Amino acid sequence: MNPMKETEAKTLSTDVYLSFVTSLFGNRGTLWTGVVVHVLWCLLVFHYSGAQFYLLFACGFAAVFAYRMYWFQRFDKVDKASLTYDGIAAWEQQYVIGAFLAAFLLGIASGYALLVLENPFVGFTCIAMTLGSMMSIVGRNYGSRIAVDLQTLGCCGPILIACLFTEDLHLALMSLLLIPFGLTTRSMANGVREFLYENVIASRKMAIIAGRFDIALKTISHGLVMLDGEGKIQVINRRARDLLGLDKKSDLKDRDFAAVLCEDAENAPETILRQLSKLADGSLERALFKFKDDRHLEFSVSPRSDGGVVLIFEDVTARLAAEEKVLHMVRFDALTGLPNRGHFADLATKKLKRRGEALAALAVFDVDGFKHVNDLRGHVIGDRLLAAISARLSAMKTDGLLAGRLVGDEFVVLLTGGDDDCELERQIRRIHAEIQGDYYVDGLRLPVSMNSGCVVLPSQDFDMENWQIKADLALNHAKSTGNGTLTAFRSEMDAQYIDEQKLRVDLRQAIENRGLHVVYQPMYRPDGSGIECSEALVRWRHPERGMVGPNVFIPMAEDMGLVSHITHLVLDQACRDCATWPEPMAVSVNLSIQDLRNDDIVGYVADVLKRYSVDPSRLHLEVTESCFMDEPVAVSAILNQFRVTGVTIAIDDFGTGFSSLSYLDSLPLDVVKIDRAFIRNIVEDQRKLKLLRGIVHLSRELGLKIVVEGVETKEQLALVNRHRFSDLVQGYVFSMPVASEKIIELAAEGASAAKLSAVRRGAKSAQASPLRAAAR
C-alpha cells in the first residue's frame, strides 16, 4: 500500500483533508466554462435534431450549476479554522452531490443520443463532450476520491448501458473500452492526489524546519552571516546585526558584506574591516578582533559546498576578562601582588634575553624571625607585613629591577647591570638595606631584618632553577650568621652543597641500616659517690669521614624529617641497655619538637618499656625550651600523658631560651638541667654565679631536681658543691660519654668508693668520741 492509501485508510489529518476539500471548491472558472459548453451543446443538438428532450437537459445543467454555486458561496463564508473532521466530510459530501448530478446528466444525455436518436452526428458530439468532461474530472476533482469515482460512473455508466441496449455488437464491444478508460481516469486522479499529498507533507515539514531555523537564528547568542560565493549576504540574524552595529531595519539580503561593513558597521577600525573581508572570502578561518568600544568578537568560518561561507561570531569580552583574571591569579601572588615564582622566571627570561655577557644579579630575601611575628601577632598581621614589604620593593625606583615572591616569607629580586660585578653587588646590598628597618602595621612597629643570598652571573647563562639554587646556598650561609646578613654566592658553596647532599643520602642509609650507635654520659652525685642517671647520646661513625658530630647530622635529620626515626632508635637502645644496669639507675633520652607533634611517641615509649621490662621511673625524657615555644599546648598535653605513666620529665638547656622561668611553673617538670653556659667561667664571673644561685633557689622552691651540665674542672665542681647548686652533676670532670658496658663499671666503682668513704667517716667518728667525752 502506497503512503496515500495508508494515510486514507488511517484517516487523513484534519489540515490535509481540509486542503483537499478546499481545492474542490476552488477554480470556479472551469465550472462556468463547463455549464456554458454543456448548455450550448444541448441547444445545438436540439437545433440539429429537433429533440426537445435536450432543452430539458440544458435547463438541468443550469439548475445543477446554480445548486453547486450556492454551496460554493456558503463554503466561502465558513470559518475554515473551526471546521472539524466531520464538518469537512459534510462539505465534501455536498460537493460530491453537485458534481455527480452534473456528470450523470451528461451521461444520460449521451446515452439518450445513442439509444433513442441513433444519429451519428449527435452520437459523436455526445461521446466527445463526455470524454472531454472526464478529462476535466482529474484536473479539479483529485481532492476527493469519491467525487472522481461517482463522476466517472455518472458519465460512463449511461453510455455503456445505452450501447449494450442497441444490440449492436461492435458498438457494445467499443462501449466496454470505457471501463479501462474510467479506471485510468481514476488512477490519474489518485496519482495527482498522492503527489499533492506528498508535497503538502513536505511543505509542512519545510515550514516546521524553516520555523525552527528562524527561531534558532533569532535566539542564538552567536551572530550568523551566510554569504554566497560572491560575498553577498544571503542570511543574517538579529544577533549579528547587534554585534556589528548594523541597522536592524535595513534590508541586507544580496548586498556585498564588505561594503555593508564599510558603510554601516559601528566601532569597527579599518584594520578590522580588512580582516573581516578576508574572513568573508575564506582567506582566514578564525580571528579575534577588538572593537573601539572595547568589545572583543571572535569569528570562525565554515565553507559551503556552493563556494560561499558561513560566518559565526560571538562577544567574548566577558570570557576574555575572566581568562585574564584567572591568568593574573595564576601568575601573581594574591597577597602581595608580586609575580609568583613561575611568572617571575618567565619575566626574567624575557628580560635577560639577548643581553649576552652583561651581568645580572638574582637575590633571595628571607624575613628573619617571621614565624615569631605570626605566633605573637597573628597571621593577619604577618600577612599585612608581607604586603608592606612587597609594597616597599615595588616602590623602588631602580632601573632594571624585577621583584617577585617565592614562598612564605621569601622574596626574589632580579637586577640587571653592565660588566662590573662589584657595582651590581653594591646595588643589591643597597636594596637589601632599604627593605629592612621598621614597618608600621595596624599601629604596631615591627622591626624587620632580612637574611639574603645573591648570585651575580652573565645574563646569557640564566636558568631560574640553577640561579635560585646558588642564591639559596648563599642564603643558608647568611641564615647561619643571622641579623640581616647578605651573602654573595661563592664557587666553593657548590662543592659544599654537593657534599651536604651526599651526606644526607649517607645519613638516610645509616638510619635505615641502624648505622648509628648510642653512648652515655653519667650524671653523678656532686660528691662523686655514685651514678643516678646517664644521658643517652647518639653518635655516627661515617665509613669515609669518620665521626660526624651530632651538631651536624641532628639538624640535618630534622630538616629531612628523620629525627623521629633517630629518637626511636635511641629509645630502643637506651631501654635495652638500662635493663642491664643496676636498679634504680635511670637513663635519659632527648626528644625533639617533631617527636612531640602528636601522641604517637607516648605509645612507642610504653611499648619499649614493656618490651625490656624497665620501670617507667627509670626513664627520663628531656625536652628543650624551643619545643615549648613552638607548640606549648600540644607539648604540655603529651608531657602530662608521660607524667601519668611515671616517666620523669626534664627541661634541657635551661636558661638559653625565652621566658624560661614561666615554664617551670606551667609545665609538668621534674628535673631542671642548667645549661653549660652558666658554668663556663663561673669561677671568674660573679654575675653568672648570682644568676645561677637565683635559678637554683627558684627551682628548689618549686620542688624540682637540679642537674648542672658541662662541669669540666675541679674548681667548677668545688664551687657547685660549696653553694649546693645541684643534685646531680654531668660533665667531663667525672666522665666523658662512654659505652653501656663502661657505665656498669663506673657504677661499680662509684659504689665501692661510696662504701670506702662511709668506712672512713665511721673511723673518724669513733676516734673523735673519747676526745669529745674528755672535753665534756
Binned at pLDDT 50, 70 and 90, residue 757 comes out as low
Shortest CA distance to 110 belongs to which of 155, 172, 73, 70? 155
Whether 568 and 602 have beta carbons less than 8 Å apart is answered as no
Residues 6+ apart with CB under 8 A from 25: 72, 75, 76, 91, 95
Residue 773 pLDDT grade (very low, low, confident, very high; cuts 50, 70, 90): very low
Lowest mean pLDDT among 4-18, 467-481, 667-681: 4-18
Same domain, 559 and 597: yes
Q: Which residues of 338-349 are buried (b: 16+ CB within 10 A; e: fewer)?
A: bbbeebbbeebe
SS (H, E, C) 160-214: HHHHHHCCCHHHHHHHHCHHHHHHHHHHHHHHHHHHHHHHHHHHHHHHHHHHHHH
Whether residue 346 is found in the same domain as residue 412: yes
> For residue 11, what pLDDT band results from cuts at 50, 70 and 90?
low
Q: Which of these, 147, 146, 142, lies nearest to 23 by C-alpha position?
A: 142
Report the C-alpha dihedral over residues 371, 376, 379, 385, rounded to 10 degrees.
-80
Position 770 scores a pLDDT of 41
Q: Do 157 and 178 meet the contact criterion of CB atoms below 8 Å apart?
A: no
Give strand ranges (E) for 393-545. Answer: 401-405, 410-416, 437-441, 444-448, 450-458, 486-488, 516-524, 531-542
Instruction: Mark whether 399 and 458 lie in a shared domain.
Output: yes
**Banded model confidence at residue 726, pLDDT cuts 50, 70, 90:** very high
pLDDT greater than 50 at residue 765: no
- Distance (Å, whole) CA 172 – CA 154: 18
Q: Indicate whether 685 and 610 sit together in one domain.
A: yes
Over the stretch 342-365, which tens digit does the pLDDT of each residue have?
999 999 999 998 888 899 999 999
Residue by residue, DSSP assigns 267-292 as S--HHHHHHHHHHHTTS-SEEEEE-T
The grid cell for 442 is 595596624
* Contacts with 149 (C-beta within 8 Å, 6 or more apart), sequence order: 186
Residue 739 has pLDDT above 90, yes or no: yes
Running DSSP on this structure, what letter comes out for residue 232?
B
Peptide bond into 668 cis (omega under 30): no
In this prediction, residues 428-454 reach a mean pLDDT of: 93
Q: Is the pLDDT of residue 215 over 80?
A: no
Does 730 fall in a domain? yes
Residues 517, 471 share a domain: no
Q: Determine the pLDDT at residue 264.
A: 61
pLDDT of 165 reads: 79
Separation of alpha carbons 118 and 175, rounded Å: 15
Residues spanned by the domain of 344: 332-490
Calculate mean pLDDT across residues 211-236.
Answer: 79
**Mean pLDDT over residues 640-660, rounded?**
81
- pLDDT, residue 107, reads 83
- The count of residues in the chain is 776
CA–CA separation, 338 vs 336, rounded Å? Answer: 5
Q: Give the pLDDT mean for 463-485.
A: 89
- Answer positive or negative: Cα dihedral of 215, 216, 222, 228: negative
Residue 482: which CATH number?
3.30.70.270
Q: What is the pLDDT of residues 115-158, one digit of tens each?
A: 777 777 777 777 777 777 777 776 667 677 887 788 788 778 88
pLDDT score recorded for residue 109:
83
Q: What is the pLDDT of residue 657?
A: 54
Q: Which of 274, 292, 320 is the last residue of a domain?
A: 320
Is residue 211 a contact partner of residue 296, using CB atoms and an 8 Å limit? Answer: no
Q: For position 272, which CATH number holds?
A: 3.30.450.20
- What are 244-300's pLDDT values in tens digits? 777 777 888 888 877 777 776 555 566 666 776 677 666 777 778 777 677 888 888
Q: 552 and 408: one domain?
A: no
> Could you tell me if 345 and 253 lie in one domain?
no
Q: Which of 107-111, 127-131, 543-547, 594-598 has the highest mean pLDDT?
A: 543-547
Q: Which is higher by pLDDT, 516 or 9?
A: 516
Count Cα neighbours of 379 within 13 Å in the Cβ-side half-sphere.
Answer: 2
Of the candidates 594, 587, 520, 533, which has an alpha carbon nearest to the alpha carbon of residue 564?
594
What pLDDT shows up at residue 447? 92
Top pLDDT among 611 and 58 is at 611
Kindly tell me if the per-residue pLDDT of 24 is higher than 60.
Answer: yes
Residue 592 exposure: Cα atoms within 13 Å on the Cβ side: 16
How many CB atoms neighbour CB 431 within 10 A? 24
Helix (H) or strand (E) holding 621: strand 619-624
> Does the residue 495 lie in any domain?
no
Rounded Cα gap, residues 80 and 177, in angstroms = 41
Q: Is 396 a member of any domain?
A: yes
Tell me, yes or no, whether 662 and 520 share the same domain: yes
Q: How far is CA 284 from CA 309, 310, 316, in A?
A: 11, 12, 19
Task: Find the mean pLDDT for residues 317-331.
Answer: 87
Interval 666-691 mean pLDDT:
85
Which tens digit of pLDDT belongs to each residue from 389-422? 999 999 988 888 999 999 889 999 999 988 888 9
* Arithmetic mean of pLDDT, 212-224: 75
Is 114 within the bounds of a domain?
yes
* Chosen domain end from 274, 291, 320: 320
Least confident of 6-20, 82-96, 178-192, 206-220: 6-20
SS (H, E, C) 489-505: CCCHHHHHHHHHHHHHH
Of 365, 349, 343, 356, nearest to 463 by C-alpha is 349
Given a contact cutoff of 8 angstroms between Cβ atoms, the answer to whether 547 and 584 are in contact is no
The pLDDT, as a whole number, for residue 517 is 95
Cβ atoms of residues 303 and 212 within 8 Å: no
Q: Indicate if 280 and 340 belong to the same structural domain.
A: no
Do 395 and 473 share a domain, yes or no?
Answer: yes
215 domain-assigned: no
Average pLDDT of the chain, as a whole number: 83
Residue 643 has phi, psi (to 5 degrees) of -60, -40
Whole-number Cα distances in Å, 108 to 112, 167, 236, 435: 6, 18, 63, 122
Q: What percent of the chain has pLDDT over 90?
A: 35
Task: For residue 246, tell me if it sits in a domain.
Answer: yes
Distance of CA 272 to the CA centre of its chain: 34
Chain position carrying cell 652533676 = 729
- DSSP-H helix ranges across 612-708: 625-630, 632-645, 660-666, 686-701
The verdict on 590 and 484 lying in the same domain is: no
> Is residue 677 a part of any domain in this protein?
yes
pTM: 0.55
Query: In 378-515, where do the E strands start and end?
Result: 401-405, 410-416, 437-441, 444-448, 450-458, 486-488
Kindly state the DSSP code that residue 713 receives in the 8-state scheme.
S
Q: Alpha-carbon distance 500 to 758, whole Å? A: 54
627 assigned to some structural domain = yes
Query: 60-79 in b/e burial notation, b at 16+ Cβ within 10 A?
Result: bbeebbeebeeebeebeeee
Do residue 533 and residue 478 come from a single domain? Answer: no
CATH code, 636 = 3.20.20.450
Question: Does 98 have pLDDT greater than 90?
Answer: no
- Residue at which a domain ends, from 266, 293, 320: 320
Mean pLDDT in residue range 699-718: 91
pLDDT number for residue 237: 84
According to DSSP, residue 616 is labeled: G
- End-to-end Cα distance, the chain: 154
Mode of pairing for the β-strands spanning 486-488 and 450-458: parallel
Residue 363 · residue 471 · CB < 8 Å: yes
Question: For the chain, what is the domain count?
Answer: 4
- Cα separation of 688 and 686, whole Å? 5
